[in-house]
C-alpha cells in the first residue's frame, strides 16, 4: 500500500494531466508576452531612431536651403566644410550625394568607399520628400537605417540628397538584451506557476492517496478502519462518508460472524445426536434392508452437514481474528502421507484413485500446526474429489527446495474457468461449479497457509484438471 501511495505522488495520473494542462496555457501565454514585449521595444527603438534621423535631415536641409543661391563650387565647399565639422560623426554618418548617386562629401572623410545604392536615395530625388531605409547595405553587408532628404537648388532643380545613415547593430543588441530579460522574467513566472500548481495538486493528491489506500484496505476486508480527515472541505466530507461506511460494514460483518458462530454451535448439538444415534441404530440388527439404507443416508448427510458446520466455525474464527496456531516441529511428509492413506480408502469407495508419487528426497521437519495442515490437505482433497471426480484420478506429491516444502494435488476434472481463478479463494465464492458446499473451504485453507507464511496457488494443469500448489517455508 505504501509503495502504491508513493507511486501515486509521482508525475503521473492527475498530477501529470494538471501540469500538462497548466503548461499548455501558461507557456504559449509567456511566449506571446515575450514576443510582444520584444516587438514593442523594437518598434520604439526603430521609431525613435528614424524620428531622430528625419529631424536631423530636415533641420540640416533647411540650413542649406539658405545657401542654394550661391554657385555650385561654393555650395560644394560649404557641404565639405559642414561634413568635416559634424559633431556626431562617430555614431551617425552625414553624406551629401549628387544627382548621379555619387558621394560628394561625407563626415567620414574624403575616402568613404563606394557610393550607396539603397532605394530611398532615388525615391527622395523623384518624390522630392524625405525617404527612409531599414535593411542591409549591399555594399558593406551591414544592417543600417538611413534617411535621405532632397536638396533642391534655387531654380527648382534637385541637385542631390542629404543622407544620414547609422548602423543598427547596437540597437539590435539592446533589443536582444530586452528580449533576454523578458524571457528570463517570464521563465521565472512560469516556474513559479508550476511550483505553485505542483504544491496545490500535492495538497489534493495527498488526501486522495490516503483515502484511496484506506478504501483499498476496506475493499480487501479491513472493515472498521478509519480515515483521518485533515481538511474541512469535500475531501473531509468524502473521508467522513467512507468512515461511516466502514463502520457500518464492520458492524454488519460482526453481526454476521456472531450469527454464523452462534448458529454453528447450536447446530453441532443436534447433529452430534443424529450422528450418534444413526451409528447406534446401524450397529443393531433390528432394521430391514430398506431402513438400513435410509439410515446410511441420514448418517452420511449428517456427517456432511457436520463438516459444513465445522467449516463455518473455522470461518467465524478467521473473521473474528480468533484462529490460532499450535506450532511445533513436525514431520510434514508423515502428516501428508497419513492424510493420503486415510482419505484414499474413502475415495476408492467412490471410484476415484488417489495416486501418491513417492520419492527418496529427504523432507526436513518444519515448524507448523499439524492439525491445521491436515485440515488443509483434507479440504483440498475433498474439493478435488467433488469438482474433479469425473477424471477418476487425483495425483499428489511432496518435494523440497532450498527454502520451501512443496505439496501438489492435481485432479483431472474440467478445471476452473480462467476468469474465476483469481476469485476461487474468496469467501462464499462458488463460481460456475454445481458441486454442493458453502464456498468457504478454500478461503479457510488460504488463511491457514498464510498464517504459516506460505502460499496456496491454484492453476489449470496441462491436459485438463486443476493443480493446487502449497508452499510452506522450512524456517
**Secondary structure letter of residue 419 according to DSSP:** G
Residue after which a domain boundary falls, among 319, 342, 365: 319
Is there a domain that residue 221 lies in?
Answer: no
- CA dihedral over 424, 430, 435, 438, signed as positive or negative: positive
Instruction: Answer yes or no: do 314 and 367 share one domain.
Output: no
pLDDT range class, residue 457, cuts 50, 70, 90: very high
Instruction: Answer yes or no: do 378 and 416 share one domain.
Output: yes
Per-residue pLDDT reduced to its tens digit, 90-101: 889 898 888 888
CB atoms within 10 A of CB 36: 11
Instruction: Answer yes or no: do 344 and 465 share one domain.
Output: yes
pLDDT of residue 6 exceeding 70 = no
Instruction: Answer yes or no: do 341 and 456 share one domain.
Output: yes
Chain center to CA of 261: 44
Instruction: Give 273-276's long-range contacts (Cβ < 8 A, gap of 24+).
Output: 274/298, 274/299, 274/302, 275/299, 275/302, 275/303, 275/306
- What are the φ and ψ backbone dihedral angles of 161, each rounded to 5 degrees? -135, 150
Number of domains in the chain: 2
Q: Which pLDDT value is given to residue 87?
A: 85
351, exposed or middle or buried, with CB in 10 Å at 0-12, 13-18, 19+? exposed
The C-alpha angle 372, 375, 379, rounded to 5 degrees, equals: 145
Is there a domain that residue 269 lies in?
Answer: yes
Q: Which pLDDT value is given to residue 316?
A: 62
Report the range out of 92-106, 303-317, 425-439 with the highest average pLDDT. 92-106
- Which residues on adjacent β-strands are paired with residue 131? 148
Residues listed for the chain? 475
Question: How many whole angstroms separate alpha carbon 461 and alpha carbon 439?
Answer: 22
Nearest residue to 461 (alpha-carbon basis) of 386, 404, 384, 401 = 384
Per-residue pLDDT reduced to its tens digit, 29-68: 889 999 999 999 999 999 999 999 999 999 888 887 766 6
- DSSP H or E segment with residue 381: helix 370-388
Instruction: Answer yes or no: do 353 and 400 share one domain.
Output: yes
93, exposed or middle or buried, with CB in 10 Å at 0-12, 13-18, 19+? buried
Is there a domain that residue 158 lies in?
Answer: no
| pTM exceeds cut of 0.75 | no
Q: Which pLDDT value is given to residue 372?
A: 86
Instruction: Answer yes or no: do 335 and 408 share one domain.
Output: yes
Is there a domain that residue 273 lies in?
Answer: yes
pLDDT range class, residue 386, cuts 50, 70, 90: confident
Per-residue pLDDT reduced to its tens digit, 338-374: 888 888 887 888 888 899 988 888 889 999 999 889 8
Is there a domain that residue 377 lies in?
Answer: yes
pLDDT range class, residue 7, cuts 50, 70, 90: very low
Instruction: Answer yes or no: do 266 and 348 share one domain.
Output: no
pLDDT of residue 10 exceeding 60 = no
Residue 244 or 473, more confident: 473
Question: How many whole angstroms separate alpha carbon 203 and alpha carbon 386?
Answer: 54
Q: Which pLDDT value is given to residue 268?
A: 64
- CA dihedral over 401, 407, 411, 415, signed as positive or negative: negative
Contacts with 272 (C-beta within 8 Å, 6 or more apart), sequence order: 306
Q: Which domain holds residue 288?
A: 234-319
CB atoms within 10 A of CB 87: 9
Is there a domain that residue 86 lies in?
Answer: no
Q: Which pLDDT value is given to residue 329?
A: 93
Half-sphere exposure of 384 (CA within 13 A, CB side): 35
Average pLDDT, the chain: 80
Instruction: Answer yes or no: do 289 and 420 share one domain.
Output: no
**Secondary structure letter of residue 221 according to DSSP:** T
Question: How many whole angstroms separate alpha carbon 32 and alpha carbon 41?
Answer: 14
What are the grid coordinates assigned to 324, written together?
490460532
**Secondary structure letter of residue 171 according to DSSP:** H
pLDDT range class, residue 462, cuts 50, 70, 90: confident
pLDDT of residue 129 exceeding 50 = yes
What are the grid coordinates assigned to 68, written together?
542654394
Relative to beta strand 103-106, strand 93-98 is: antiparallel
Residue after which a domain boundary falls, among 297, 319, 341: 319
pLDDT range class, residue 254, cuts 50, 70, 90: low
Chain center to CA of 24: 19
Residue 47 or 391, more confident: 47
**Secondary structure letter of residue 461 according to DSSP:** P
26 close to 193: Cβ distance less than 8 angstroms: yes
Arithmetic mean of pLDDT, 426-431: 69
135 close to 95: Cβ distance less than 8 angstroms: no
Instruction: Answer yes or no: do 363 and 436 share one domain.
Output: yes
Instruction: Answer yes or no: do 332 and 465 share one domain.
Output: yes
**CATH number of the domain encompassing residue 360:** 3.30.565.10
Residue after which a domain boundary falls, among 254, 286, 319: 319
**CATH number of the domain encompassing residue 242:** 1.10.287.130
What are the grid coordinates assigned to 419, written together?
476468469
Is there a domain that residue 198 lies in?
Answer: no
pLDDT range class, residue 464, cuts 50, 70, 90: confident
Residue 132 or 203, more confident: 132
385 close to 393: Cβ distance less than 8 angstroms: no
Is there a domain that residue 244 lies in?
Answer: yes
171 close to 49: Cβ distance less than 8 angstroms: yes
Q: What 3-state class would DSSP assign to 471?
A: strand
225 close to 46: Cβ distance less than 8 angstroms: no
**Secondary structure letter of residue 233 according to DSSP:** S
Report the range out of 4-18, 142-156, 377-391, 395-409 with the highest average pLDDT. 395-409
Question: How many whole angstroms separate alpha carbon 462 and alpha carbon 331?
Answer: 31
- DSSP H or E segment with residue 400: strand 393-400
Instruction: Answer yes or no: do 338 and 280 share one domain.
Output: no
Instruction: Answer yes or no: do 348 and 384 share one domain.
Output: yes
pLDDT range class, residue 1, cuts 50, 70, 90: very low
Q: Which pLDDT value is given to residue 319?
A: 60
Q: Which pLDDT value is given to residue 4?
A: 42
CB atoms within 10 A of CB 284: 8
Q: Which pLDDT value is given to residue 257?
A: 63
Question: How many whole angstroms separate alpha carbon 36 and alpha carbon 58?
Answer: 32
Relative to beta strand 158-167, strand 93-98 is: antiparallel
pLDDT range class, residue 438, cuts 50, 70, 90: low
Question: How many whole angstroms separate alpha carbon 356 and alpha carbon 339?
Answer: 11
pLDDT range class, residue 9, cuts 50, 70, 90: very low
Arithmetic mean of pLDDT, 284-297: 73
Amino acid at each position: 500500500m505504501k509503495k502504491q501511495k508513493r507511486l501515486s505522488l509521482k508525475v503521473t495520473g492527475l498530477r501529470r494531466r494538471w501540469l500538462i494542462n497548466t503548461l499548455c496555457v501558461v507557456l504559449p501565454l509567456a511566449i506571446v508576452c515575450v514576443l510582444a514585449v520584444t516587438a514593442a521595444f523594437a518598434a520604439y527603438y526603430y521609431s525613435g531612431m528614424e524620428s531622430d534621423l528625419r529631424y536631423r535631415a530636415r533641420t540640416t536641409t533647411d540650413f542649406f536651403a539658405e545657401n542654394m543661391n550661391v554657385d555650385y563650387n561654393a555650395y560644394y565647399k560649404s557641404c565639405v566644410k559642414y561634413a568635416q565639422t559634424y559633431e556626431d560623426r562617430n555614431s551617425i554618418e552625414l553624406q551629401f550625394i549628387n544627382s548621379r548617386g555619387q558621394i560628394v562629401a561625407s563626415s567620414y572623410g574624403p575616402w568613404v568607399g563606394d557610393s550607396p545604392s539603397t532605394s530611398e536615395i532615388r525615391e527622395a530625388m523623384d518624390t522630392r520628400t524625405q525617404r527612409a531605409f531599414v535593411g542591409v547595405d549591399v555594399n558593406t553587408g551591414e544592417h543600417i537605417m538611413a534617411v535621405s532628404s532632397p536638396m533642391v537648388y534655387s531654380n527648382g532643380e534637385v541637385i542631390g540628397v542629404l543622407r544620414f545613415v547609422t548602423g543598427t547593430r547596437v540597437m539590435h543588441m539592446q533589443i536582444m538584451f530586452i528580449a533576454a530579460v523578458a524571457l528570463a522574467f517570464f521563465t521565472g513566472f512560469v516556474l513559479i506557476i508550476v511550483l505553485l500548481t505542483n504544491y496545490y495538486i500535492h495538497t489534493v493528491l495527498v488526501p486522495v492517496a490516503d483515502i484511496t489506500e484506506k478504501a483499498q484496505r476496506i475493499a480487501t476486508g479491513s472493515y472498521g478502519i478509519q480515515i483521518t480527515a485533515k481538511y474541512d472541505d469535500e475531501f473531509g466530507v468524502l473521508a467522513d462518508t467512507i468512515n461511516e461506511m466502514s463502520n457500518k460494514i464492520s458492524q454488519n460483518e460482526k453481526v454476521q460472524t456472531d450469527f454464523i458462530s452462534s448458529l454453528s454451535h447450536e447446530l453441532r448439538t443436534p447433529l452430534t445426536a443424529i450422528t450418534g444415534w444413526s451409528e447406534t441404530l446401524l450397529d443393531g440388527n433390528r432394521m430391514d434392508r430398506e431402513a438400513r439404507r435410509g439410515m446410511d443416508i441420514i448418517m452420511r448427510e449428517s456427517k456432511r452437514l457436520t463438516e459444513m458446520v465445522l467449516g463455518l466455525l473455522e470461518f467465524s474464527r478467521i473473521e473474528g481474528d480468533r484462529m490460532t496456531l499450535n506450532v511445533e516441529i513436525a514431520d510434514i511428509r508423515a502428516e501428508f502421507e497419513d492424510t493420503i492413506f486415510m482419505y484414499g480408502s474413502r475415495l476408492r469407495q467412490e471410484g476415484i484413485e488417489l495416486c501418491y508419487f513417492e520419492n527418496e528426497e529427504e523432507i526436513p521437519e518444519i515448524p507448523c500446526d499439524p492439525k491445521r495442515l491436515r485440515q488443509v490437505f483434507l479440504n483440498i482433497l475433498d474439493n478435488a474429489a467433488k469438482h474433479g471426480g469425473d477424471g477418476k484420478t487425483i495425483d499428489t506429491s511432496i518435494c523440497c527446495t532450498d527454502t520451501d516444502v512443496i505439496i501438489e494435488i492435481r485432479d483431472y476434472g474440467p478445471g476452473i474457468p480462467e476468469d474465476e481463478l483469481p476469485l476461487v479463494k474468496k469467501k462464499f465464492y462458488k463460481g460456475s461449479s454445481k458441486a454442493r458446499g458453502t464456498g468457504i473451504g478454500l478461503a479457510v485453507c488460504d488463511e491457514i497457509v498464510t498464517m504459516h507464511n506460505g502460499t496456496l496457488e491454484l492453476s489449470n494443469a496441462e491436459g485438463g484438471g486443476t493443480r493446487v500448489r502449497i508452499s510452506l517455508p522450512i524456517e
